[in-house]
Amino acid sequence: MRHTNVFFAVFLLSSMVFSQPTKEPAREDSWLMKQDKQEYTKPNRNAPPELSRLDFLIGTWRCEAKLKREDGTWESLRATWEGRYILDGYAIADDYRMETLTGKLLVLGTNIRSYDPKKKVWNMKWLNALSGTWTDLGSEELGGIAVDEKSISYSMREPVAHHAFTRATYTNISTNHFTWRGERSNDGKAWEEFLVIEAYRDKK
């Protein structure tokens, strides 16, 4: 009789335990959901204030580009640019894609941008998705990154094109538009414009 009672008690307890509905963790409380909400829109409140100098990149941009070919002719291209805050708002990542008017992919990659408040320098790199390579942007060796009220510019060793150096300059910066100008050089002294990108904020 004792064994029967024990068995019944165990069975009853098991039924009560397994009949309870399991609670799934709320997706809103997940780390990934918090990241999605925070990273795209604004910097971390503890991030260096200098980071906001590049916050005009945040958002989605529709771009019209003109590329000067080696023979001196200019070709019209189309591009998209999309920027967002990453890593809890301590850095900016902006993706760039450029293709011909017939849809041939020419450029695809991501810029990673951060600021070192101790050294008072920018750290920026370009990841070329098509070749899987990294390029330093605005290294101290090439003069670093020049920032003023009207423009931002820096130079890099050219990893793809035939010339040795590229100088990038952001100008005409406003809420809904900015211009990116690319100049090329083989000696770092004489520069020639070869790429102009007009970016317009996508309001969709």
CA distance 59 to 82: 6
Pairing of strands 105-116, 74-86: unpaired
Mean per-residue pLDDT for 73-101?
97
Query: What's the pLDDT band for 90 if we cut at 50, 70, 90?
Result: very high
pLDDT in tens, 100-122: 999 999 999 999 999 999 999 99
pLDDT score at 40: 65
Which of 45, 71, 84 has the alpha carbon at shortest distance from 194? Answer: 71
pLDDT of residue 149: 87
Q: How confident is the model at residue 68 (pLDDT cuts 50, 70, 90)?
A: very high
CB-CB contact of 43 with 91 (8 Å): no
For residue 37, which phi and psi values (nearest 5 degrees)? -70, -40
Per-residue pLDDT for 91 more than 80? yes
Q: Is the pLDDT of residue 4 over 70?
A: no
Higher pLDDT pick, 195 / 36: 195
SS (H, E, C) the chain: CHHHHHHHHHHHHHHHHHHCCCCCCCHHHCHHHHHHHHHCCCCCCCCCHHHHHHHHHEEEEEEEEEEECCCCCEEEEEEEEEEEEEHHHCEEEEEEEEEECCCCEEEEEEEEEEEECCCCEEEEEEEECCCCEEEEECCHHHCCEEECCCCEEEEEECCCCCCCEEEEEEECCCCCEEEEEEEEECCCCCCEEEEEEEEEECCC
* The pLDDT value given to residue 161: 79
60 pLDDT above the threshold of 60: yes
Q: What sign for the dihedral angle of Cα 157, 136, 43, 39? A: positive
Matching residue, tokens 């005009």: 56
Mean model confidence pLDDT for the chain: 85
Res 113: pLDDT: 97
What are the residue ranges spanned by the domains of the chain?
Answer: 49-201
pLDDT of residue 33: 47
105-127 burial by CB neighbour count: b if 16+ within 10 A, else e?
eebebebbbbbeeeeeebbbbbb
Banded pLDDT at 159 (limits 50, 70, 90):
confident
May I ask the CATH class of domain 49-201?
Answer: mainly beta
The bridge status of strand 192-201 relative to strand 152-157 is: unpaired
pLDDT-derived band at 51, boundaries 50, 70, 90 = very high
Instruction: Report the C-alpha gap between 82 and 202 in whole angstroms.
Output: 10
